[in-house]
Amino acid sequence: MSADTDTQAPAEPNDTRHSIGARKNPETEAAILDAAAEIIAEKGIGGLRMEAVARRAKAGKATLYRWWPTRGALLLAVYQRKKPHMTYRDTGSLYQDLLHFANDLITVWKGDNGLFFKAIIAEAESDPDVTDKLREYHAERLEALCAVTRRARDRGDIPADEDPTIRAEMLISLLWQRLINNRLDEKIDGHVRMLANSD
């Protein structure tokens, strides 16, 4: 048995899928995420209910809640599954690294992924569970981008005493603002150049 899979338990008479322990069975995980995506497509994010997902996926509610304890956690899992994997390039230039990241994310958000993420942000305004998970997701993405600014600091491209999170958070905030306000088509090169400036 691999490190990230479970042996699937025999089905109950109602054909409910099972998993053993906290590790995810890939078949059950896919069924749950597929079911959640289908419900969102039919009813919108506001119509997503954990019980309905478990029922459609033929998965036990205990399994669903063990893997995704809240509705917000499930929403972000669906989004991350839809979104292409982001790369954080090392070109030797902070400006080029940040510009590549910004343009790559803008490209992702110009499709359905952007509409979906905007809906998650809107849902976070009224659902504390979604708010908490979105804040956690933001922190993860910020930490990943901070690796880029730390490299720049280690190269001497930015002041040695500068907190590497500052420029990373400013760029993420700028991109989220562009997404929310439907401004993804506007040029971002100048803003990124200012963020990469060491003066």
What CA–CA distance (Å, rounded) separates 83 from 32? Answer: 17
Q: Does domain 82-196 have CATH number 1.10.357.10?
A: yes
Per-residue pLDDT tens digits for 94-146:
999 999 999 999 999 998 999 999 999 999 999 999 999 999 999 999 999 99
What CA–CA distance (Å, rounded) separates 103 from 78? Answer: 23
Place domain 1-67 in its CATH homologous superfamily. Homeodomain-like (1.10.10.60)
Long-range (24+ apart) CB contacts under 8 A made by 44-53 are 44/119, 45/75, 45/119, 45/120, 45/122, 45/123, 46/123, 48/74, 48/75, 50/74
Burial readout 19-34 (b: 16 or more C-beta within 10 A, e: otherwise): beeeebbeebbebbbe
pLDDT band at 199; cut points 50, 70, 90? low
Per-residue pLDDT tens digits for 50-107:
999 999 999 999 999 999 999 999 999 999 999 988 889 999 999 999 999 999 999 9
**Residue 46 pLDDT > 70, yes or no?**
yes
- pLDDT computed for residue 22 by the predictor: 55
Q: Which two tokens stand for residue 1?
A: 């048995």
User: When comparing pLDDT for 155 and 7, which is higher?
Assistant: 155
**Residue 15 pLDDT > 90, yes or no?**
no
| Average confidence (pLDDT) over 158-167 | 94
**Residue 14 pLDDT > 60, yes or no?**
no
17 has which bridge partners? 59
Domain ranges of the chain: 1-67, 82-196
- pLDDT computed for residue 198 by the predictor: 77
What CA–CA distance (Å, rounded) separates 199 from 158? Answer: 8
Q: What is the mean pLDDT of the chain?
A: 88
Domains 1-67 and 82-196 share a fold: no
Q: Which two tokens stand for residue 148?
A: 């880029």
- pLDDT computed for residue 10 by the predictor: 32
